Amino acid sequence: MSAMKFELITKDPGSAARLGSLTTAHGKIDTPIFMPVGTQATVKAMTPEELVEVGSQIVLANTYHLYLRPGHDLIARLGGLHRFMHWDRPILTDSGGFQVFSLGDLRKISEEGVKFRSHIDGSSHFISPEVSIAIQEALGADIAMCFDECPPYPAEYDYLKKSLEMTTRWARRCKTAHSRPDQALFGIVQGGMHPELRRESARQLIDIGFDGYALGGLSVGEEKGLMHEMMQACSDILPEDSPRYIMGIGAPEDLIEGINAGFDMFDCVMPTRNARNGALFTSFGRINIKAAIYAEDQSPIDPACSCYVCRNYSRAYLRHLYRSQEILASRLNSWHNLHFYLNLMGEARQAIADGRFSGFRSEFYAKRT
């Protein structure tokens, strides 16, 4: 196993929520934590220094995109991903599985791996579990993910069962191929929207043994209730002494439910993508800064928010920037949204430490309009 260490500090008495500490080669992470997504070695519109300012402890980078451009070998020659993107805190890289499988007709799956055509120039490529691990080792992330098959939703039961079994075989190959002692490796639980398949997938991965465990294949079009049911289905079977990660979910209420179910790590493009589209997150719900009602509104985005944007800029100004298509609109909106997400995680951690997460969860919903 890797040099990564996970410490479970305390558990909330009224829920499955957990307070933890994850130590990696590039620093310590307090959990539960949200990881901003830096798909192409950058969190869109934000500098690394600004990410530190809003409270980012770890960012996620995309294996598929960095493999295609500029190439993992180039990044390795330039000193690795941390140096390349000027980020000295932890990085998690996904396996590329979700991106490859989302290519549809541009890819072909086999037991060996996946052949696909680049969405950039149509060139042919092949990624196997071994290739995915080699890419992630070259990038030098603190946490690497196993290569998995991310099935579509909805999907037939028999297909999902065969898919999770292949994901298990691929996970075993990933572990065999993985050789960096300073890099943790997480397995990914699949199984669609069937609790029994999810639990079977988790058991198979636990038998292999990984540094941490993730739920993949969520937020792919399923109803919220199903998503939350899959969280609950796996929460009591995953090892208590390992970090638990839900991949790709990002609505604030989904993060709260994930924490409530006992998960520690989350990521999503939602805060930055919504920011670029003028949707801003607040303690009372989401607002659309494009709306005419904000044309003369001198108040901050959220009076309860302490971020740089809310301390210095009005809704009227932010609306003006967005409607004028100014680059600063994306920057300030992203700054606020990421601060909101990371502050929400900090408040959740404090609530768990105080033994009052259930009350905090109720208050979260009561504030939203």
Tell me the catalytic residues: 94, 267
Pull the structure tokens for residue 141.
């992330």
Q: Are 132 and 97 in contact (CB under 8 A)?
A: yes
Q: Largest alpha-carbon pair distance within the chain?
A: 61
For strands 212-215 and 244-246, give the pairing. parallel
Collect all residues with Cβ–Cβ distance below 8 Å to 321 and sequence separation of at least 6: 328, 329, 332
Residue given tokens 């149509």 in the structure block: 122
Q: Are 247 and 235 in contact (CB under 8 A)?
A: no
Q: What is the DSSP letter of 211?
A: S
Rg of the chain over Cα atoms, rounded to whole angstroms, equals 20
Distances (CA, A) of 349 to 211, 264, 353: 22, 10, 6
Give the residue from 31, 33, 26 showing the smallest Cα distance to 4. 26
Judged by DSSP in three states, 246 sits in strand
Give the residue from 110, 115, 171, 181 showing the smallest Cα distance to 146. 171
Burial classification of residue 292, based on how many CB atoms lie within 10 Å of its CB (0-12 exposed, 13-18 middle, 19 or more buried): exposed
Alpha-carbon distance 294 to 258, whole Å?
33
Q: Are 244 and 213 in contact (CB under 8 A)?
A: yes
